[in-house]
Homo-oligomer: A and B are copies of this chain.
């Protein structure tokens, strides 16, 4: 599993659209707070591989390492537990 603190540091790159709190800042960007970790890892990896495409996310995800993906998923999953 990922490192929540490292994920929080990396999440500054995501915050303009998804919020550092995981709450969407743009209608087309999903909320991420409390999302299941497995889903977040799959979404990022699908954008990295090209299996899933989105103009912004395909570009952003290409900059991420395996560790970044794990850490970001751990961080956003940890937020806003309901």
Residues of A within 8 A of B (CB): 23-24, 27-31, 33-39, 42, 51-53, 80, 82
Contacts and interface: CB of A to CB of B under 8 A. Distances in A.
Copies in the complex: 2
| Interface majority SS (helix, strand, loop, mixed), chain A | loop
Contact of A31 (B23, B29, B35, B53): B35
Contacts of A39: 24, 27-30
A1 B34 CA distance: 26
Contacts of A52: 52
Contacts of A82: 23, 31, 33, 80
Nearest to A53: B51
Residue in A30, A35, A53 with the greatest tally of chain B CB atoms within 10 Å? A30
